[in-house]
Amino acid sequence: MKIAKTYLLMTLFSLWLAAPHISMAADGKTVIEQNRCAGCHEMNGGKAGTIAEVLSKKAPDLFYAGSKFQEKFLTKFLQRPNRIRPAGTVFLNYTAPGPEIDQIQEPPLCASRLSREDAVAAAQYLMTLKDPDMPTGIYKPGTEFAKANAKMIFHKSGACNACHQVDVGNGDIKGGVSAPTLYDAGDRLNGDWVLSYIKDPQHWDPKAWMPKRELPDSTWQLLTNFIMTMKKSEEMKKAEK
């Protein structure tokens, strides 16, 4: 009888311990609210329409996170945030004039470190925030494409690397710093969103400092396939550990 009573008490105690985690894990929206993510991230679809509004941004928009990101990436990032924009969310806010080259001044990383349970729940919730108008199913992972041609467009005619950092081989990172890094784009982003964004950046962000070009759909698909092959090298993964 005594053993049964002790067992029952221990079970109840275990349930009590687990209860807060269960309730938090069940509601990713609450996790987002409790961590005040909206203090830095736009969560409700208010696109920055003027330069003044762009400058007031503290962190990237998340109201279309479910269209933009991969859930696996979000779950990992929310536990261990890392810098994706070398010069901060808006490079102008953290750059000062320099004689040879303008200097980036330690941009803050506006991100919380969540527990695994909270990160899973928050990522699940963020994945529900989608732009219903974004065409889906266009990017097909694993599709064969002319990689040499795509590379030429990315590095030469399109000069995407002027603003984006990429891995030029064996973890050697080169490229511009005013825009998000792309060396792990294939681990981080949704291919359909990449295609939509590179085709019309201003649809997503009216004051994006990325040029909008008129190119054939086949070229956009080629570039998307190429960008989605960009994944963290073994050297980078080792360095993270």
Among 83, 113, 213, 237, binds other proteins (CB under 8 A): 213
E-strand spans in 105-185?
A: 165-167, 173-175
Quick check: 62 and 42 in contact, CB under 8 A? yes
98 binds other proteins (CB under 8 A): yes
Binding mask 99-118 toward other proteins (x if CB under 8 A, else -) reads: xxxxxx--------------
Among 39, 45, 108, 211, binds other proteins (CB under 8 A): 211
Nearest approach, Cβ of 114 to other proteins (angstroms)?
31
Residue number with CB closer to other proteins (94 or 145): 94
Q: How far is 158 from 150, CA to CA, in rounded Å?
A: 10
E-strand spans in the chain?
A: 95-96, 103-104, 165-167, 173-175
Neighbouring C-alpha atoms within 13 Å toward the C-beta of 115: 10
Q: Report the candidate in 220, 176, 183, 181 with the shortest Cα–Cα distance to residue 199.
A: 220
Query: 44-83: which residues touch other proteins (CB under 8 A)?
Result: 50-51, 54
Among 106, 214, 234, 240, binds other proteins (CB under 8 A): 214
Quick check: 158 and 210 in contact, CB under 8 A? no
- The CA-CA-CA angle for residues 52, 53, 54, to 5°, reads 90
Among 47, 58, 151, 207, binds other proteins (CB under 8 A): 207
Binding mask 160-179 toward other proteins (x if CB under 8 A, else -) reads: -xxx----------xxxxx-
Residue number with CB closer to other proteins (108 or 211): 211
92 binds other proteins (CB under 8 A): yes
| DSSP assigned state of 211 | -
> By the criterion CB under 8 A, which residues form the site for other proteins?
50-51, 54, 87, 91-92, 95-104, 156-159, 161-163, 174-178, 202, 207, 209, 211-214
